Structure 1
Amino acid sequence: MHPSITTLLNGPKVIPVLVIEDPEDALPLARSLVDNGLSILEITLRSDAALNAIETIANQVEGAVVGVGSILTEAQLNAAQSAGGQFGVSPGVSFKLLQALEMSDWPFLPGAGSLSEMLTLRDAGFSQQKLFPAAVLGGISMLKAVAGPVGDISFCPTGGINPDNARDYLSQSNVFAIGGTWIAPLDLVRAKDWDEIGRRAAEAAMLGS
């Protein structure tokens, strides 16, 4: 079995999914989240500043558990670990990435969007998977449908999660956490509205506690 992602999770089961474009935003953003109860962060590799931000937060924000999202290749996998990421996340898994993951003991949350992908990942030792894009795939209906045939797999749904449906997702027996961009959306990060992000983080922390 691959190292369990849930060993890194404690307290709230809500993971903010972040895009950081300006390296100077890394510290205030991470601190606003951690100080308001969300210590597990997923920083996506969707900007040139991402790896710098990951390194900064990993080294300077006490209590932050830094995950690296949007990993698509072995090179990105290695770069994420070198930057100080404590776990990785992918939207899906290619054959080459899966080969690299099978050689690694780094905690990783691979994305699945179909039963065939779920079974492939389970065979590779991943009993915890990211369901993405959750809402497009059917959301809670999808989770209920797969709970029977792959009842030994638990999920972190991401994609279309918001304050209105977050609690419903978390109530599913095969959901161990949820991920979402609503807590620190790019427009609020660009506006450097750390107070509003902190408020949203505190509300989200209550959802999963």
Structure 2
Amino acid sequence: MIHTKQSIIAQLEQLRVLPILVTDDVDQAIRCVTTLAENGLPAVEITLRTPNAMTVLREVIKACPNVVVGAGTVLTSAQLDAVKYAGAAFGISPGITPTLARAAAESGLPYFPGVGGASDLMLALEHGFDVVKLFPSDIVGGIKMAKALGGPFPDVRFCLTGGVTVEATPGLLRQNNILCVGGSWMCPASLINAGDWEAIGTLATQAMIAGRPQLA
């Protein structure tokens, strides 16, 4: 399936919550992503924080064709090329640099740079990125920062990650320029390593409801 920036945004508008998965085990990753999807979260960001992450990304994409699988912690243009080649639906970075922003703009891959304030956001906008990751949300101000940036940048939308909890999610999503929130609280390493898919399913359902309370 070919994903566009607009199709990814539309998916995030519907789900409002994006799980962030950190694991170096292919089988665990596939089982986790399948469990998340079965419990209302059919989109995931797989981070490139582990040595085997690129293999995990490729195998999850192949095994879970009905899940929107993106790659996070993209730090270089070489990584951006690699995740695009692997078939990722989108890329996300924790920050932004002129080199990476330029490469992302030219790549055609749906991409969401990370920002921590107005200067980062201005650089993102220079390269055409008006949907960005606000990170680390809890450190840079979270909803207060989103509100503040909404004044000079009314057309920008944010995905908040970093310190987000299921309890805070409904309140965060009431801010009109927050597109979605992301986090790993519904798929923590402790439960993945224990193979406790039932618990992960419960956490996924809770996160889904927090993002879409009308489905409760």
Q: What interval of TM-score do these two structures reach, taking the shorter chain for normalisation?
A: over 0.9
Per-residue CA shift, 1:50-106, capped at 9, x if unaligned? 111111111111421001000000111011111121100000112211121121111
Tell me which of 144, 152, 156 is aligned to 2:155: 152
Deviation at 1:46, TM superposition (A): 0.6
Structure 1 counterpart of 2:62: 59
The answer on 1:101 being equivalent to 2:98 is: no
Structure 2 counterpart of 1:89: 92
Aligned partner letter, 2:158: F
Moved more, 60-69 or 29-38: 60-69
Moved more, 3-12 or 130-139: 3-12
**Paired residues of 1:12 and 1:207 also in contact (CA < 8 A):** no
The answer on 1:71 being equivalent to 2:74 is: yes
Aligned partner letter, 1:167: P
The gaps in structure 1 that reach 5 residues or longer are none
Tell me which of 173, 178, 184 is aligned to 1:175: 178
In 2, Cα distance between equivalents of 1:206 and 1:133: 23
Counterpart of 1:103 in 2: which secondary structure? Answer: helix
**Paired residues of 1:71 and 1:88 also in contact (CA < 8 A):** yes
In 2, Cα distance between equivalents of 1:33 and 1:20: 14
**Paired residues of 2:42 and 2:67 also in contact (CA < 8 A):** yes
Per-residue CA shift, 1:166-192, capped at 9, x if unaligned? 111111110111101111112211212
Following TM superposition, where does structure 1 have runs of at least 4 consecutive aligned residues deviating by more than 4 angstroms? Answer: none
Tell me which of 188, 191, 196 is aligned to 2:194: 191
Structure 1 counterpart of 2:29: 26
1:123-142 → structure 2 map (5 Å cutoff): 123-142=126-145
Deviation at 1:3, TM superposition (A): 3.3
In 2, Cα distance between equivalents of 1:11 and 1:151: 21
Counterpart of 1:149 in 2: which secondary structure? Answer: coil
Deviation at 1:33, TM superposition (A): 0.4
Structure 1 counterpart of 2:5: 3
Alignment coverage as a number of residue pairs: 208
The gaps in structure 2 that reach 5 residues or longer are none
Structure 1 counterpart of 2:53: 50
Deviation at 1:205, TM superposition (A): 0.9
Of the two structures, which has the highest relative contact order with CA contacts closer than 8 Å and spacing of 6 or more? 1
Structure 1 counterpart of 2:122: 119
**Paired residues of 1:93 and 1:112 also in contact (CA < 8 A):** yes
Aligned partner letter, 1:136: I
Structure richer in helix, relative to its length: 2
Per-residue CA shift, 1:112-141, capped at 9, x if unaligned? 001011111112111100000001011111
**Paired residues of 2:136 and 2:161 also in contact (CA < 8 A):** yes
The answer on 1:164 being equivalent to 2:167 is: yes
